[in-house]
Amino acid sequence: MAKNIIEKIWESHVVHREEGKPDLLYIDLHLIHEVTSPQAFEGLRLAGRKVRRPDLCFATMDHNVPTKDIYTVNDPIAKKQMSTLEKNCAEFGIQLAGIGHPDQGIVHVIGPELGLTQPGKTIVCGDSHTSTHGAFGALAFGIGTSEVEHVLSTQTLWQNKPKTMEIRVNGKLGFGVTAKDIILAIIAKWGVGLGTGYIIEYTGEAIRNLSMEERMTICNMSIEAGAKAGLISPDEKTVEFLRGRRFAPKEEFDKAAEYWLSLASDPGCTYDKVLEIDASEIEPYVTWGTNPSMGTGISGRVPTVDDYESETDKQALRKALEYMGLEEGQPITSIEIQHVFIGSCTNSRLSDLRTAAQIVKGRKVAPGVRAIVVPGSYSVKKAAEEEGLDKIFIEAGFEWRNSGCSACLGMNEDIIPSGERCASTSNRNFEGRQGAGARTHLVSPAMAAAAAIEGRFVDVRNYLKQEQQA
Amino acid sequence: MEPINIVKSVITPLDRKNVDTDQIISKEFLKRIERTGFGKYLFYHWRYDENGNENPDFVLNKPEYKGSQILVAQDNFGCGSSREHAPWAILDYGFRVIIAPSFADIFHNNCFKNGILPVKLKEEEVDEILAKGLQKPYTVEVNLTEQTVTGEDGAVYHFNIDPYYKEMLLNGWDEIALTFKYEDKIKAYEEKRIVFK
């Protein structure tokens, strides 16, 4: 019978199945960071338990790390959290890419970079954006700290099998429209609860045409659609991305590649739900509200209460606009920004930085705008510097930082002040996400770069056209 | 983990949907390395103003709901980040039950690991309970064995729950200890696992 990739991976990882219980699933890769792991290691110690497979774990520091001077951690509690991870990894024999290590970076950037992420693997991490790794055809999902402890001690998890959903992105993307715009359009169209109880497979011509880095952007925000995980069937692009990576198979690479490609969804397979969207209709997106579904195309406007039927939705709009300091019906292009953040596990990879650099090259950041670029990993930073991207950003007036989660969630010092507005390439525009009272607008790296130059949101396609004509 | 079966208390009506874990516990409080002590930071930016004074309009600050153990909210409660600090804060504050039409997946799982009962009711039932609770303090009894929510006015609502998680909550079991019973199967799986060199 024709099977989809979700069913194939799930079935091949069942350790134990019994009526009335969730399945006991084996976990192939456990990624660890400083914020959601200390209580799990403490739990192991209190119960006198060991880490079952330290060889299947990999740890880094990303959430708390400073991005200016990486060795100066001013916050003593953050410092303690980082030193706790160092101690825990040493005690339990887990590889750690800590501060200053050449493999350090955002956990969802380094996993693929090192070739730890591979098709067919079950991958977990105490972080909701673990769905990123689904871009490789892995079943990857975020877990809580109790589950982190469970995986550390048993290398398994009890999981109810979610339903499966196909989101087919038909046709071709328009000029200047990116992967970020696809996923923001999907969430705006069907809402933040669209994927609750499901694992999503993204298919269709527009998805096939995306690079691996762009596919990661799509899968990354599956959690923003409420899905357990999001993935894309592996193809030749997946195989080529992994070839030669440090933790990818070596002498058996061809055999591995054959297996990976066999995991792709079979023609004629079915899903519990299928949604379709036409890529050619998607514009560059900007969110105006306090969850990722509150967004619209650059030519659009902030909605009005009359656009909603239920009192709960009208109330939600009023609350969002009050927090965001926006008026009903206001054109998106009239929104002025004071900050630009290019970074996060959604959009901080080399191709994201290249796109943004192309737009800011030879231009200047608008007066009154503070713009920062935070590469996703030490190795992204190094590669960007080898191409001279750092110089382009710095000449345009951007700050060029070290890698980490940074202003995506503002756990370090990279915080947006209350009442100020940020064009951000990150994934969440929740109240207070980038700092108490901070107002976040989610956009693609191209749109963020254009906003930095203009001081307000503009249609980046016009910018790119000028570029082509020049 | 503390077992849970019957919880009777006034409800705290939080009439919002898509309440995300950034609101439940803000990032500045995630740096602690313990599981306890998060209750005072629950809904911090809704509960307090910029100077740290209580916001009298926020439901948790209203005297009639003090001591409540049952939180009632709208759709997609607990969406966003996987931070287990969110259920830790909810539990530490004193809530044992959350009633909503739907929960985000990771948050839902996290509740079961911490002895918090997430009760899914139909949207119209939650609307009804919220309306009653917003009008005047409304007490309900949640009974996990019976899978019911019974209001002080005699209204009865039934809910479904996965039998595995029900057992776990009723008994306060340590899931890791349960999993160790399957160690032979884990070993057997590891022997046949596909690994490429």
Query: Nearest CA to A364 among A325, A401, A395?
Result: A395
- The residue among A216, A246, A275 that closes a domain is A275
Q: For an interface test with B, which of A35, A122, A228, A440 has the most B Cβ atoms less than 10 Å from its Cβ? A: A35
Model confidence pLDDT, tens digit, residues B42-61: 999 999 998 999 999 999 99
Task: Could you list the residues of A known to form a binding site for [4Fe-4S] cluster, using ranges.
Answer: 345, 405, 408
H or E stretch including A60?
A: strand A57-60
Helix, strand, coil share of chain A (percent; to 5): 40, 20, 45
What ipTM goes with this model? Answer: 0.95
Rounded to a whole number of angstroms, the distance from the CA of B106 to the nearest CA of chain A is: 6
Match 């399957």 to its residue by tokens.
B182
Contact B176 A250 (CB under 8 A): no
- CB burial of residue A34 (10 Å; 0-12, 13-18, 19+): buried
d(CA A308, CA A314): 6
pLDDT score for A463: 87
Q: How many domains does chain A have?
A: 2
Point out the residue among B20, B23, B33 whose CB comes nearest to the CB of A80. B33
Q: Given A154, A196, A437, which is nearest B105 (Cβ)?
A: A196
d(CA A351, CA A348): 8
Q: List C-alpha distances in Å: B185 to A9, A15, A24, B52.
A: 18, 6, 10, 53
Chain B residues near residue A428 by CB distance under 8 angstroms: 20, 22, 80-81
> Is A419 domain-assigned?
yes
Cβ–Cβ under 8 Å, residues A297 and A189: no
What's the confidence (pLDDT) of residue A218? 98
Of B23, B193, B196, the CB nearest to A431: B23
Q: Are residues A233 and A353 in the same domain?
A: no
Nearest chain B residue to A194 by CA: give it. B76
Residues 6+ apart with CB under 8 A from A287: A184, A188, A294, A295, A429, A440, A441, A442, A443
Cα distances (angstroms) measured from residue A439 to each of A184, A320, A324, A444, B46: 17, 10, 6, 16, 16
Straight-line distance from the first to the last Cα atom of chain B, in angstroms, rounded to the nearest whole number: 42
CA-to-CA distance for B30 and A419, rounded, in angstroms? 23
Q: Are residues A32 and A156 in the same domain?
A: yes
The per-type count for chain B, helices as H runs and strands as E runs, is 8, 7
DSSP characters for A199-255? EEEEESHHHHTS-HHHHHHHHHGGGGGT-SEEE----HHHHHHHTT-TTS-STTHHH
Asked if A103 and A163 sit in the same domain, the reply is yes
The pLDDT of residue B71 = 98
Residue B115 contacts A where some CB pair is shorter than 8 Å: no
Neighboring chain B residues of A345 at a CB cutoff of 8 Å:
none
Distance of CA A173 to the CA centre of its chain: 20
CB A118 within 8 Å of CB A126: no
Calpha distance A256→A262 (Å, rounded)? 10
Residue numbers of B between 94 and 113 with CB closer than 8 Å to A = 102, 104-106, 109-110, 113
C-alpha distance across the termini of chain A, in Å: 55
| Domain boundaries defined on chain B | 6-192
Tell which residue, A452, A15, A427, has the closest CA to residue A221. Answer: A427
Contacts (Cβ under 8 Å, ≥6 apart) of B181: none
| Helix and strand counts by DSSP (H, E) for chain A | 16, 19
Spell out the CATH class of B6-192: alpha beta
What φ, ψ does residue A170 adopt, rounded to 5°? -80, 160
What are the pLDDT tens digits along chain A (470 aa)?
A: 999 999 999 999 999 999 989 999 999 999 999 999 999 999 999 999 999 999 999 999 999 999 999 999 999 999 999 999 999 999 999 999 999 999 999 999 999 999 999 999 999 999 999 999 999 999 999 999 999 999 999 999 999 999 999 999 999 999 999 999 999 999 999 999 999 999 999 999 999 999 999 999 999 999 999 999 999 999 999 999 999 999 999 999 999 999 999 999 999 999 999 999 999 999 999 999 999 999 999 999 999 999 999 888 999 999 999 999 999 999 999 999 999 999 999 999 999 999 999 999 999 999 999 999 999 999 999 999 999 999 999 999 999 999 999 999 999 999 999 999 999 999 999 999 999 999 999 999 999 999 999 999 999 999 888 777 76
Cβ–Cβ contact B23 with A under 8 A: yes
Same domain membership, residue A61 and residue A15: yes
Same domain, yes or no: A326 and A304: yes
Residues A23 and A166 in one domain: yes
Residues A218, A332 within the same domain:
no
Number of neighbours of residue A421 by Cβ within 10 angstroms: 23
| Cα separation, A219 vs A214, whole angstroms | 9
**Six-digit token pair at B125?**
């039932």
Beta bridge partners of A201: A166, A231
The shortest CB-CB distance from A146 to any of B26, B33, B110 is to B110
Which of A241, A275, A309 lies at the terminal end of a domain, its last residue? A275
Q: What whole-number distance in Å separates Cα of residue A133 and Cα of residue A150?
A: 21
Helix axes A145-154, A38-47, angle to 10 degrees: 50
Amino acid making up residue A83: S
Instruction: Please state the length of chain A.
Output: 470
Residue numbers of the domain that contains A441: 285-469
Beta strand A421-424 with A439-442 is parallel
In sequence order, what DSSP letters do the residues of A311-358 get, joined into one string? HHHHHHHHHHHHHHT--TT-BGGG-B-SEEEE-TTTS-SHHHHHHHHH
Q: For residue A280, is it within any domain?
A: no
| A291/B18 Cβ within 8 A | yes
**At B24, which helix (H) or strand (E)?**
helix B21-24
| Long-range residue pairs from A362-365, CB within 8 A, at least 24 positions apart, any chain | A362/A396, A363/A396, A363/A453, A364/A396, A364/A397, A364/A453, A365/A340, A365/A396, A365/A397, A365/A398, A365/A452, A365/A453
SS (H, E, C) A240-270: HHHCCCCCCCCCCHHHHHHHHHHCCCCCCCC
Q: Domain holding A312: CATH number?
A: 3.30.499.10
Exposed, middle or buried: residue A383 (CB in 10 Å: 0-12, 13-18, 19+)?
middle
How far A187 CA sits from the closest chain B CA (Å)?
13
* Domain end point (choices A213, A240, A275): A275
